[in-house]
Amino acid sequence: MIAIAPTDDIIPPAPTDATLAELLSVRARRASPRRLTINIIAGLIAAGALYWFRPKGWAILFATAICFVAYGCWGFADRQVPRSLLVVPQGMHTLWRIARGVAGLIGVLAFATALVVFLGFALGRMQS
């Protein structure tokens, strides 16, 4: 059975010319809180195990696990930003926006790290 977020009827589908941020936002808002929590917990467990054991190619997998953690955190913060404007003081709304931005930045940096490490493995040692 597929879990659908309770606000599924309010969230419109992403337009066909949507940016990556818009697509991720729609996907995160449609995901259940349980799914976002699983992303965070599983990513933290995987990142911790990879950092502890450090198998060959661990950096790519570690960065990917951090991407999952960042996506889950970003998803929670992205859900709270529109709601927080109506319910909480402006300072708390700003904190949710900062949390969303920090999680997004960590996710982008983790993806870039995974990409660079993958390219390093794929290209191998270069000699001039």
49-to-43, 45, 53, 86, 123 alpha-carbon distances in Å: 10, 6, 6, 40, 27
Q: Which residues contact 65 (CB under 8 A, 6 or more apart)?
A: 42, 43, 44, 46, 47, 50
Local structure of residue 5 (DSSP, 8 states): -
**Rounded Cα distance, 94 and 78, in Å:** 12
**Listed residue (77, 74, 81, 20) closest to 43, CA to CA:** 74
pLDDT digits (tens, 9 = 90+) for 63-94: 999 999 999 999 999 888 877 667 778 888 88
Distance CA 39, CA 127 (A): 40
Q: What is the pLDDT of residue 12?
A: 65
Q: Are 5 and 30 in contact (CB under 8 A)?
A: yes
The domains of the chain are located at 31-122
Q: What is the mean pLDDT of the chain?
A: 86
Question: How many other CB atoms are there within 10 angstroms of residue 123's CB atom?
Answer: 8
Residue 5 has pLDDT above 60, yes or no: no
Residue-wise pLDDT tens digits, 34-72: 999 999 999 999 999 999 999 998 999 999 999 999 999
Residue 117 has pLDDT above 90, yes or no: yes
